[in-house]
């Protein structure tokens, strides 16, 4: 029992320091926000772990999910005592409060010379609430680059087998054209009568296979364009309103997705998550910073939008000629980056690589940092 207590006492300082915010050695005292900044980038200018936002900004992660409070032109101040950032003038500490009182006392005791303005001193000013008017063309900065994830927030990305089999399907085109595009007519079968007139067209892509269970997680949905229903019938008529790729017979339709918000507070999952990279968007074999990747874990596993996971390369085995104790040894896994989960499905999630010192590869691990 004594050994257990001693071990706990020994580990407590280590565990406490593991979650402690570390200020960068070259961190500025303040920073003026400019257009194009992100909350992630600003946090990274001050702290080594920019994803620890509930601590860095003094926010309550349970009540503040969509931070829209920082605009270009705002001044961000670092409070090195509390290790937090705040917008506005620096918060006065007890020490500076006492210094101001002393300065005011000295000023009142000084004989003022007519025509000569006294030196400026720190004077305590009572502030009252004021209405803040923002320019209509000024947009709050995003958590992460909006342009990097915007195309993925309103498009279908993953369709499970049930949804694929039940989706309406394009069965023909006007004048039997092999390929159609904007403003052309298409004909579709199995269109529901109670799900609106606006639809998205997709083509089933690669099947996502779980590398751990070898089971299907769904199919990648390749977005082709948008269409509007003109006539509902056994064979319905739709007009293509937007086309980014050629559309042809056999393509499927899914109800239009409302664009999701693109601003979240990064935070680690509350449980231990261990996922694998199963796809790098674009069909490439490697990715890097700002690449979009798919993971084999989703909502059913506890992943939420805003979760941050650490990327690890699997440790390699030492060469055949370096055998220790009669067996080949495996090197430790190497942490090389972070991803920001911005969209989740039941069994698959998509994340943006926000930090990477090495190329991201298929089957790399993504775990709770």
The structural domain count of the chain equals 3
Q: Which of 87, 104, 122 is the last residue of a domain?
A: 87
For the chain, report the end-to-end CA distance as a whole number of angstroms: 31
Q: Is residue 101 part of a domain?
A: no
Beta pairing partners, 226: 200, 242
Which CATH number do you get for residue 287? Answer: 2.40.10.410
281 and 225 fall within a common domain: no
Structural domain containing residue 332 = 274-367
Q: Which of 87, 116, 144 is the last residue of a domain?
A: 87
Burial of 47 (0-12, 13-18, 19+ CB in 10 A): buried
Q: Which of 87, 108, 127 is the last residue of a domain?
A: 87
- Determine the Cα–Cα distance for residues 241 and 227; give it in Å rounded to an integer: 5
250 and 295 fall within a common domain: no
pLDDT confidence of residue 123: 53
How does strand 198-209 pair with strand 252-255? antiparallel
Q: Are 340 and 273 in contact (CB under 8 A)?
A: no
Q: Is residue 50 part of a domain?
A: yes
Q: Is residue 127 part of a domain?
A: no
CA 225 to chain centre: 25
Range 187-218 burial, b when 16+ CB lie within 10 A, else e: bbeebeeeeeeebbbbbbbeebeeeeeeeebb
pLDDT confidence of residue 325: 57
Which CATH number do you get for residue 198? Answer: 2.40.10
> 3-class secondary structure for the chain?
CHHHHHHHHHHHHHHHHHCCCCECCCCCCEEECCCCCEHHHHHHHHECCCCCHHHHCCCCCCCCCCCCCCCCCCEEEEECCCCEEEECCCCCCHHHHHHHHHHHHHHHHCCCCCCCCCCCCCCCCCCCCCCCCCCCCCCCCECCCHHHHHHHCCCCCEECHHHHHHCCEEEEEHHHCCCECCCCEEEEECCCCCCCCEEEEEEEEEEEECCCCCCEEEEEEEEEEEEEEEECCCEEEEEEEEECCCECCCCEEEECCCCCCCCCCCECCCCCCEEEEEEECCCCCEECCCCEEEECCCHHHCCCCCEEEEEEECCCECCCCCEECCEECECCCEEEEEEEEEEECCCCEEEEEEEECCCEECCCEEECC
pTM: 0.74
166 and 251 fall within a common domain: yes
Q: Are 189 and 252 in contact (CB under 8 A)?
A: no
Q: Are 229 and 190 in contact (CB under 8 A)?
A: no
pLDDT confidence of residue 110: 40
Q: Is residue 136 part of a domain?
A: no
- How distant, in Å, are the alpha carbons of 100, 107, 109, 123, 188 from that of 120? 11, 10, 15, 9, 76
Q: Is residue 111 part of a domain?
A: no
251 and 279 fall within a common domain: no
Q: Is residue 67 part of a domain?
A: yes
Q: Is residue 81 part of a domain?
A: yes
Q: Is residue 141 part of a domain?
A: no
Written as tens digits, the pLDDT of the chain (369 aa) is 444 444 434 433 433 344 688 999 999 999 999 988 988 899 999 999 988 887 888 776 555 555 556 888 889 999 888 888 888 754 454 444 455 454 444 434 444 333 433 444 455 555 555 444 444 446 788 888 888 888 888 888 899 888 888 899 999 988 777 778 788 999 999 999 888 899 999 999 999 999 999 999 999 999 999 999 999 999 999 999 998 888 988 999 998 877 777 667 788 998 999 999 999 998 888 999 999 999 999 999 999 999 999 999 987 777 655 555 566 677 888 999 999 999 999 999 999 999 999 999 999 999 999
- Determine the Cα–Cα distance for residues 338 and 168; give it in Å rounded to an integer: 38
- How distant, in Å, are the alpha carbons of 106, 108, 118, 120 from that of 113? 15, 13, 8, 15
- Determine the Cα–Cα distance for residues 256 and 197; give it in Å rounded to an integer: 9
């Amino acid at each position: 029992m004594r050994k257990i207590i001693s071990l706990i006492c020994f580990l407590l300082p280590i565990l406490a320091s593991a979650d402690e915010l570390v200020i960068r050695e070259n961190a500025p005292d303040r920073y003026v926000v400019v257009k194009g900044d992100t909350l992630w980038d600003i946090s990274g200018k001050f702290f080594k772990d920019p994803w620890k936002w509930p601590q860095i900004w003094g926010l309550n992660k349970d009540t503040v999910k969509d931070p829209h409070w920082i605009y270009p032109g705002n001044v961000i101040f670092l409070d090195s005592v509390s290790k937090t950032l705040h917008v506005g003038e620096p918060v006065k500490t007890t020490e500076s409060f006492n210094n101001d009182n002393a300065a005011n006392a000295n000023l009142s005791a000084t004989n003022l010379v007519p025509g000569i303005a006294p030196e400026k001193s720190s004077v305590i000013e009572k502030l009252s609430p004021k209405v803040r008017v923002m320019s209509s063309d000024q947009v709050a900065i995003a958590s992460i680059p909006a342009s990097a994830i915007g195309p993925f927030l309103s498009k279908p990305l993953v369709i499970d087998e049930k949804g694929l089999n039940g989706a309406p399907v394009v069965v023909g085109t006007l004048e039997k054209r092999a390929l159609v595009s904007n403003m052309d007519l298409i004909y579709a079968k199995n269109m529901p009568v109670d799900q609106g007139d606006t639809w998205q067209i997709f083509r089933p892509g690669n099947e996502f296979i779980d590398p751990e269970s070898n089971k299907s997680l769904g199919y990648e949905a390749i977005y082709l364009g948008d269409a509007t229903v003109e006539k509902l019938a056994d064979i319905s008529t739709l007009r293509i309103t937007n086309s980014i790729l050629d559309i042809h017979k056999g393509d499927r339709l899914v109800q239009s997705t409302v664009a999701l918000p693109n601003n979240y507070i990064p935070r680690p999952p509350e449980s231990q998550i261990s996922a694998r990279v199963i796809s790098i968007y674009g069909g490439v074999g490697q990715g890097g910073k700002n690449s979009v990747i798919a993971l084999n874990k989703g909502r059913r596993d506890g992943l939420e939008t805003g979760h941050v996971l650490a990327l690890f390369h699997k440790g390699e085995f030492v060469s055949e000629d370096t055998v220790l104790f009669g067996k080949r040894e495996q090197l430790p896994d190497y942490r090389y980056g972070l991803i920001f989960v911005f969209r989740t499905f039941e069994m698959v999630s998509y994340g943006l690589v926000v930090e990477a010192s090495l190329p991201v590869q298929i089957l790399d691990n993504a775990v709770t940092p």
